[in-house]
Amino acid sequence: MSKVFLGDVAVERRETCKGSKDGYPIVGLEHLTPEEITLTAWNEDSENTFTKMFRKGDILFGRRRAYLKKAAVAPFDGICSGDITVIQAKPDRILPELLPFIIQNDALFDFAVGKSAGSLSPRVKWEHLKNYEFELPEMDKQRELAGLLWAMDATRKSYQRLIAATDELVKSQFIEMFGDVGMASKDFPMAPVADVCEELFAGGDKPADNAPEKSDDYPYPVYSNGEGPNGLLCYSKDYRVSKEAITISARGAIGYSAIREPFFTPVVRLLTVVPKASMNIVFLKFFIDASKLTGTGSSQGQLTLPEFKKLVVPIPPMELQEQFAAFVRQSDKSKYCLE
Protein backbone atom coordinates (compact mmCIF):
# COMPACT_ATOMS: atom_id res chain seq x y z
CA MET A 1 0.00 0.00 0.00
CA SER A 2 1.46 3.33 -1.04
CA LYS A 3 0.24 6.91 -1.24
CA VAL A 4 -0.22 8.32 -4.73
CA PHE A 5 -1.73 11.37 -6.35
CA LEU A 6 -4.59 11.00 -8.82
CA GLY A 7 -2.32 12.56 -11.44
CA ASP A 8 0.16 9.70 -10.91
CA VAL A 9 -2.36 7.07 -12.01
CA ALA A 10 -4.66 8.94 -14.40
CA VAL A 11 -4.60 11.71 -17.01
CA GLU A 12 -7.15 14.08 -18.46
CA ARG A 13 -8.15 13.15 -21.99
CA ARG A 14 -8.01 16.28 -24.13
CA GLU A 15 -9.23 14.85 -27.40
CA THR A 16 -11.68 16.83 -29.53
CA CYS A 17 -14.00 15.79 -32.34
CA LYS A 18 -12.80 17.50 -35.49
CA GLY A 19 -15.07 15.71 -37.95
CA SER A 20 -18.67 14.59 -38.10
CA LYS A 21 -20.48 13.88 -34.82
CA ASP A 22 -22.80 11.39 -36.47
CA GLY A 23 -22.96 8.11 -34.60
CA TYR A 24 -21.51 9.49 -31.38
CA PRO A 25 -23.75 9.53 -28.28
CA ILE A 26 -23.81 12.91 -26.55
CA VAL A 27 -23.45 13.23 -22.76
CA GLY A 28 -24.26 16.40 -20.82
CA LEU A 29 -24.12 17.06 -17.09
CA GLU A 30 -27.84 16.31 -16.91
CA HIS A 31 -27.13 12.71 -17.97
CA LEU A 32 -24.85 12.02 -14.99
CA THR A 33 -26.77 10.73 -11.99
CA PRO A 34 -25.43 11.81 -8.58
CA GLU A 35 -23.57 9.01 -6.78
CA GLU A 36 -24.12 6.55 -9.67
CA ILE A 37 -21.00 4.97 -11.11
CA THR A 38 -22.59 3.75 -14.35
CA LEU A 39 -23.90 5.93 -17.18
CA THR A 40 -27.53 5.15 -18.04
CA ALA A 41 -28.65 8.22 -20.02
CA TRP A 42 -27.38 10.12 -23.05
CA ASN A 43 -28.57 11.88 -26.19
CA GLU A 44 -28.34 10.55 -29.72
CA ASP A 45 -28.84 14.00 -31.33
CA SER A 46 -25.62 15.26 -32.94
CA GLU A 47 -26.95 18.84 -33.22
CA ASN A 48 -25.02 20.50 -30.36
CA THR A 49 -21.94 22.56 -29.65
CA PHE A 50 -20.01 19.88 -27.73
CA THR A 51 -16.65 18.78 -29.15
CA LYS A 52 -14.92 17.03 -26.23
CA MET A 53 -14.34 13.32 -26.94
CA PHE A 54 -14.37 10.45 -24.47
CA ARG A 55 -13.57 6.78 -24.99
CA LYS A 56 -15.07 3.60 -23.59
CA GLY A 57 -13.81 3.05 -20.04
CA ASP A 58 -13.04 6.72 -19.36
CA ILE A 59 -14.49 8.40 -16.27
CA LEU A 60 -16.84 11.32 -16.93
CA PHE A 61 -16.47 13.69 -13.98
CA GLY A 62 -18.92 16.56 -13.53
CA ARG A 63 -16.56 19.42 -12.73
CA ARG A 64 -19.33 22.00 -12.29
CA ARG A 65 -20.95 21.92 -8.84
CA ALA A 66 -18.86 18.97 -7.69
CA TYR A 67 -20.98 18.68 -4.55
CA LEU A 68 -23.59 16.95 -6.77
CA LYS A 69 -21.22 13.94 -6.89
CA LYS A 70 -21.50 13.20 -10.59
CA ALA A 71 -18.95 10.75 -12.02
CA ALA A 72 -19.62 7.71 -14.22
CA VAL A 73 -17.84 5.20 -16.43
CA ALA A 74 -18.34 5.66 -20.16
CA PRO A 75 -19.74 2.45 -21.71
CA PHE A 76 -18.88 3.62 -25.25
CA ASP A 77 -17.02 6.29 -27.22
CA GLY A 78 -18.83 9.61 -27.40
CA ILE A 79 -18.86 13.40 -27.06
CA CYS A 80 -19.52 15.32 -23.85
CA SER A 81 -20.05 18.76 -22.38
CA GLY A 82 -17.12 21.02 -21.57
CA ASP A 83 -18.33 20.93 -17.95
CA ILE A 84 -17.29 17.26 -17.82
CA THR A 85 -13.67 16.32 -17.19
CA VAL A 86 -12.71 13.14 -19.03
CA ILE A 87 -10.32 11.05 -16.94
CA GLN A 88 -8.32 8.15 -18.39
CA ALA A 89 -6.56 5.54 -16.26
CA LYS A 90 -2.85 4.71 -16.66
CA PRO A 91 -3.19 0.89 -16.88
CA ASP A 92 0.39 0.32 -15.75
CA ARG A 93 -0.28 2.24 -12.51
CA ILE A 94 -3.91 1.47 -11.64
CA LEU A 95 -6.45 -1.15 -12.69
CA PRO A 96 -8.89 0.77 -14.93
CA GLU A 97 -11.82 -1.10 -13.34
CA LEU A 98 -10.84 0.27 -9.91
CA LEU A 99 -10.43 3.92 -10.89
CA PRO A 100 -14.20 4.66 -11.01
CA PHE A 101 -14.48 3.82 -7.30
CA ILE A 102 -11.48 6.01 -6.46
CA ILE A 103 -13.22 8.94 -8.16
CA GLN A 104 -16.84 8.26 -7.18
CA ASN A 105 -16.34 8.63 -3.44
CA ASP A 106 -17.03 11.30 -0.84
CA ALA A 107 -13.37 12.00 -0.07
CA LEU A 108 -12.55 12.99 -3.63
CA PHE A 109 -15.72 15.06 -4.03
CA ASP A 110 -14.97 16.91 -0.78
CA PHE A 111 -11.50 17.63 -2.16
CA ALA A 112 -13.00 18.81 -5.46
CA VAL A 113 -15.47 21.12 -3.72
CA GLY A 114 -12.64 22.65 -1.72
CA LYS A 115 -10.69 23.37 -4.91
CA SER A 116 -13.65 24.71 -6.93
CA ALA A 117 -13.73 28.35 -8.00
CA GLY A 118 -16.72 30.53 -8.80
CA SER A 119 -19.79 31.61 -6.86
CA LEU A 120 -22.91 30.76 -8.86
CA SER A 121 -21.50 27.73 -10.73
CA PRO A 122 -18.25 26.65 -9.03
CA ARG A 123 -15.97 24.51 -11.19
CA VAL A 124 -12.88 22.47 -10.43
CA LYS A 125 -9.97 22.00 -12.86
CA TRP A 126 -7.98 18.84 -13.54
CA GLU A 127 -4.88 20.78 -12.45
CA HIS A 128 -6.36 20.69 -8.95
CA LEU A 129 -8.05 17.28 -9.10
CA LYS A 130 -4.80 15.55 -10.03
CA ASN A 131 -3.38 16.55 -6.64
CA TYR A 132 -5.90 14.42 -4.75
CA GLU A 133 -3.90 11.95 -2.65
CA PHE A 134 -5.01 8.45 -1.67
CA GLU A 135 -3.65 5.05 -0.74
CA LEU A 136 -3.32 2.52 -3.55
CA PRO A 137 -2.55 -1.20 -3.01
CA GLU A 138 -0.55 -3.47 -5.29
CA MET A 139 -2.12 -4.64 -8.55
CA ASP A 140 -3.24 -8.05 -7.18
CA LYS A 141 -5.12 -6.35 -4.35
CA GLN A 142 -6.57 -3.83 -6.82
CA ARG A 143 -8.09 -6.71 -8.81
CA GLU A 144 -9.57 -8.19 -5.65
CA LEU A 145 -11.04 -4.82 -4.60
CA ALA A 146 -12.42 -4.06 -8.06
CA GLY A 147 -14.17 -7.42 -8.24
CA LEU A 148 -15.73 -6.92 -4.82
CA LEU A 149 -16.82 -3.34 -5.51
CA TRP A 150 -18.40 -4.12 -8.88
CA ALA A 151 -20.24 -7.07 -7.30
CA MET A 152 -21.56 -4.74 -4.61
CA ASP A 153 -22.64 -2.23 -7.26
CA ALA A 154 -24.51 -4.96 -9.15
CA THR A 155 -26.28 -6.03 -5.95
CA ARG A 156 -27.24 -2.43 -5.19
CA LYS A 157 -28.71 -2.04 -8.68
CA SER A 158 -30.73 -5.23 -8.18
CA TYR A 159 -32.27 -3.70 -5.08
CA GLN A 160 -32.93 -0.47 -6.98
CA ARG A 161 -34.85 -2.47 -9.59
CA LEU A 162 -36.91 -4.08 -6.83
CA ILE A 163 -37.67 -0.64 -5.40
CA ALA A 164 -38.76 0.59 -8.84
CA ALA A 165 -40.95 -2.49 -9.24
CA THR A 166 -42.56 -1.72 -5.86
CA ASP A 167 -43.34 1.81 -7.06
CA GLU A 168 -44.93 0.41 -10.21
CA LEU A 169 -47.05 -1.93 -8.09
CA VAL A 170 -48.37 1.04 -6.10
CA LYS A 171 -49.23 2.87 -9.34
CA SER A 172 -51.07 -0.19 -10.61
CA GLN A 173 -53.01 -0.42 -7.34
CA PHE A 174 -54.01 3.23 -7.64
CA ILE A 175 -55.27 2.75 -11.20
CA GLU A 176 -57.19 -0.38 -10.22
CA MET A 177 -58.93 1.39 -7.34
CA PHE A 178 -59.42 4.88 -8.77
CA GLY A 179 -58.64 4.90 -12.47
CA ASP A 180 -55.96 7.05 -14.06
CA VAL A 181 -54.78 10.31 -12.54
CA GLY A 182 -57.41 12.24 -14.49
CA MET A 183 -60.11 10.00 -12.99
CA ALA A 184 -61.75 9.65 -16.38
CA SER A 185 -62.66 6.02 -15.74
CA LYS A 186 -64.07 6.28 -12.21
CA ASP A 187 -67.15 8.11 -10.99
CA PHE A 188 -65.81 10.11 -8.04
CA PRO A 189 -66.54 13.74 -7.14
CA MET A 190 -63.81 16.18 -8.17
CA ALA A 191 -62.82 19.44 -6.48
CA PRO A 192 -60.09 22.10 -6.68
CA VAL A 193 -57.22 21.25 -4.37
CA ALA A 194 -57.94 24.33 -2.24
CA ASP A 195 -61.37 22.91 -1.40
CA VAL A 196 -59.88 19.82 0.26
CA CYS A 197 -57.35 21.77 2.33
CA GLU A 198 -57.59 23.45 5.69
CA GLU A 199 -54.50 25.46 4.76
CA LEU A 200 -52.70 26.01 1.46
CA PHE A 201 -49.90 28.57 1.29
CA ALA A 202 -46.43 29.37 0.00
CA GLY A 203 -43.52 29.38 2.46
CA GLY A 204 -42.03 32.62 3.74
CA ASP A 205 -38.66 33.71 5.07
CA LYS A 206 -36.47 31.69 7.40
CA PRO A 207 -37.17 32.61 11.04
CA ALA A 208 -34.69 35.18 12.28
CA ASP A 209 -34.37 33.30 15.57
CA ASN A 210 -33.03 29.90 14.52
CA ALA A 211 -30.32 27.36 15.32
CA PRO A 212 -28.54 24.70 13.23
CA GLU A 213 -29.13 21.94 15.77
CA LYS A 214 -32.22 20.78 17.65
CA SER A 215 -32.38 21.67 21.35
CA ASP A 216 -34.87 22.37 24.12
CA ASP A 217 -34.86 26.03 23.10
CA TYR A 218 -35.05 25.28 19.36
CA PRO A 219 -37.21 22.15 19.01
CA TYR A 220 -39.13 22.83 15.78
CA PRO A 221 -37.74 21.94 12.31
CA VAL A 222 -37.64 24.48 9.49
CA TYR A 223 -37.85 23.07 5.95
CA SER A 224 -36.85 24.47 2.59
CA ASN A 225 -36.78 22.69 -0.76
CA GLY A 226 -33.16 21.63 -0.92
CA GLU A 227 -30.85 22.55 1.93
CA GLY A 228 -29.78 19.72 4.21
CA PRO A 229 -31.10 16.15 4.42
CA ASN A 230 -34.72 15.92 3.34
CA GLY A 231 -34.94 19.71 3.10
CA LEU A 232 -34.17 20.28 6.79
CA LEU A 233 -32.77 23.80 7.01
CA CYS A 234 -32.52 24.57 10.73
CA TYR A 235 -34.59 24.67 13.94
CA SER A 236 -36.64 27.45 15.48
CA LYS A 237 -38.33 28.39 18.75
CA ASP A 238 -41.77 28.51 17.16
CA TYR A 239 -43.67 26.77 14.38
CA ARG A 240 -46.00 27.73 11.55
CA VAL A 241 -47.88 24.43 11.00
CA SER A 242 -49.31 22.43 13.89
CA LYS A 243 -50.77 19.52 11.88
CA GLU A 244 -49.45 16.79 9.61
CA ALA A 245 -48.96 18.36 6.19
CA ILE A 246 -47.51 17.93 2.71
CA THR A 247 -44.70 20.20 1.51
CA ILE A 248 -44.10 20.56 -2.24
CA SER A 249 -40.96 21.93 -3.86
CA ALA A 250 -41.82 25.00 -5.96
CA ARG A 251 -38.31 25.54 -7.38
CA GLY A 252 -35.51 23.24 -8.47
CA ALA A 253 -36.91 19.70 -8.12
CA ILE A 254 -40.41 21.01 -8.83
CA GLY A 255 -43.21 18.84 -7.50
CA TYR A 256 -41.05 16.84 -5.06
CA SER A 257 -43.27 16.30 -2.04
CA ALA A 258 -42.91 15.04 1.52
CA ILE A 259 -45.24 14.40 4.43
CA ARG A 260 -44.15 16.41 7.45
CA GLU A 261 -45.01 15.64 11.05
CA PRO A 262 -46.86 18.33 13.06
CA PHE A 263 -45.11 21.42 14.43
CA PHE A 264 -42.76 22.72 11.74
CA THR A 265 -42.15 25.82 9.64
CA PRO A 266 -41.93 25.77 5.82
CA VAL A 267 -39.93 28.55 4.18
CA VAL A 268 -38.87 29.67 0.70
CA ARG A 269 -39.56 27.55 -2.38
CA LEU A 270 -42.10 25.35 -0.64
CA LEU A 271 -45.86 25.07 -0.96
CA THR A 272 -47.62 23.63 2.07
CA VAL A 273 -50.84 21.60 2.00
CA VAL A 274 -52.79 20.77 5.16
CA PRO A 275 -55.65 18.47 4.06
CA LYS A 276 -59.11 18.47 5.58
CA ALA A 277 -60.39 15.47 7.53
CA SER A 278 -62.21 14.29 4.40
CA MET A 279 -58.91 13.76 2.57
CA ASN A 280 -56.32 11.12 3.52
CA ILE A 281 -52.88 12.71 3.43
CA VAL A 282 -51.14 9.67 1.90
CA PHE A 283 -53.75 9.42 -0.86
CA LEU A 284 -53.47 13.15 -1.59
CA LYS A 285 -49.66 13.07 -1.69
CA PHE A 286 -49.70 10.20 -4.15
CA PHE A 287 -52.17 12.02 -6.39
CA ILE A 288 -50.03 15.19 -6.29
CA ASP A 289 -46.91 13.17 -7.18
CA ALA A 290 -48.71 11.34 -10.00
CA SER A 291 -49.91 14.65 -11.45
CA LYS A 292 -46.30 15.48 -12.41
CA LEU A 293 -46.47 19.16 -11.59
CA THR A 294 -44.29 21.49 -13.64
CA GLY A 295 -43.12 25.06 -13.27
CA THR A 296 -43.39 28.16 -15.39
CA GLY A 297 -41.53 31.43 -15.67
CA SER A 298 -37.78 31.80 -15.33
CA SER A 299 -35.10 29.47 -16.70
CA GLN A 300 -35.27 27.41 -13.50
CA GLY A 301 -39.04 27.39 -13.52
CA GLN A 302 -41.32 27.92 -10.57
CA LEU A 303 -44.53 26.33 -9.35
CA THR A 304 -46.62 29.23 -8.12
CA LEU A 305 -49.49 28.96 -5.66
CA PRO A 306 -52.08 30.15 -8.24
CA GLU A 307 -50.85 27.47 -10.68
CA PHE A 308 -51.00 24.77 -8.02
CA LYS A 309 -54.54 25.79 -7.10
CA LYS A 310 -55.61 24.82 -10.62
CA LEU A 311 -55.05 21.17 -9.68
CA VAL A 312 -58.34 19.28 -9.46
CA VAL A 313 -58.38 16.25 -7.16
CA PRO A 314 -60.76 13.30 -6.78
CA ILE A 315 -62.61 12.65 -3.53
CA PRO A 316 -63.23 8.90 -3.22
CA PRO A 317 -64.94 7.51 -0.11
CA MET A 318 -62.63 7.73 2.91
CA GLU A 319 -62.70 3.94 3.25
CA LEU A 320 -61.09 3.56 -0.20
CA GLN A 321 -58.57 6.31 0.51
CA GLU A 322 -57.52 4.58 3.72
CA GLN A 323 -57.26 1.19 2.02
CA PHE A 324 -54.91 2.70 -0.57
CA ALA A 325 -52.93 4.54 2.13
CA ALA A 326 -52.42 1.27 4.02
CA PHE A 327 -51.14 -0.34 0.80
CA VAL A 328 -48.70 2.56 0.27
CA ARG A 329 -47.42 2.35 3.85
CA GLN A 330 -46.80 -1.39 3.51
CA SER A 331 -44.97 -0.79 0.23
CA ASP A 332 -42.87 1.92 1.88
CA LYS A 333 -41.89 -0.55 4.61
CA SER A 334 -40.75 -3.01 1.93
CA LYS A 335 -38.75 -0.27 0.19
CA TYR A 336 -37.18 0.77 3.49
CA CYS A 337 -35.97 -2.81 4.05
CA LEU A 338 -34.54 -2.92 0.52
CA GLU A 339 -32.80 0.42 0.94
**240 inside domain:** yes
Determine the longest span between alpha carbons in the chain, in angstroms: 69
Contacts 24+ apart (CB under 8 A), 7-10: 7/129, 7/130, 7/131, 8/90, 8/93, 9/89, 9/90, 9/93, 9/94, 9/99, 9/136, 10/59, 10/87, 10/88, 10/89, 10/90, 10/94, 10/99, 10/130
Q: Which of 157, 67, 158 is nearest to 108 (CA)?
A: 67
Query: Which domain does 247 fall in, by range?
Result: 189-314
Residues 230, 121 share a domain: no
**288 inside domain:** yes
Residues 218, 254 share a domain: yes
Residues 204, 252 share a domain: yes
Q: How far apart are CA 339 and CA 163, in angstroms?
A: 8
> pLDDT truncated to tens, each residue of the chain (339 aa)?
789 999 999 999 999 998 888 889 999 999 999 999 999 999 987 678 899 999 999 999 999 999 999 999 999 999 999 999 999 999 999 999 999 999 999 999 999 999 999 877 899 999 999 999 999 999 999 999 999 999 999 988 888 888 888 888 998 999 889 887 765 556 788 899 999 999 999 988 899 999 999 999 999 999 998 654 578 999 999 999 999 999 999 887 788 899 999 999 999 889 999 999 999 999 999 999 988 888 775 545 788 999 999 999 999 999 999 999 999 999 888 777 766
Q: How far apart are CA 180 and CA 91, in angstroms?
A: 53
Per the DSSP assignment, residues forming a β-bridge with 221 are 235
Angular region, 205: left φ>0, alpha ψ -120 to 50, beta rest: beta
**183 inside domain:** no
**53 inside domain:** yes
φ, ψ for residue 241, nearest 5 deg: -120, 125
Residues 242, 150 share a domain: no
**173 inside domain:** yes
**25 inside domain:** yes
**Total domain count, the chain:** 3
CATH number at residue 237: 3.90.220.20
Residues 148, 204 share a domain: no
Per the DSSP assignment, residues forming a β-bridge with 223 are 232, 266
Strands (DSSP E) found in 165-252: 190-192, 197-202, 210-211, 220-223, 232-236, 245-249
The DSSP letter of residue 331 is H
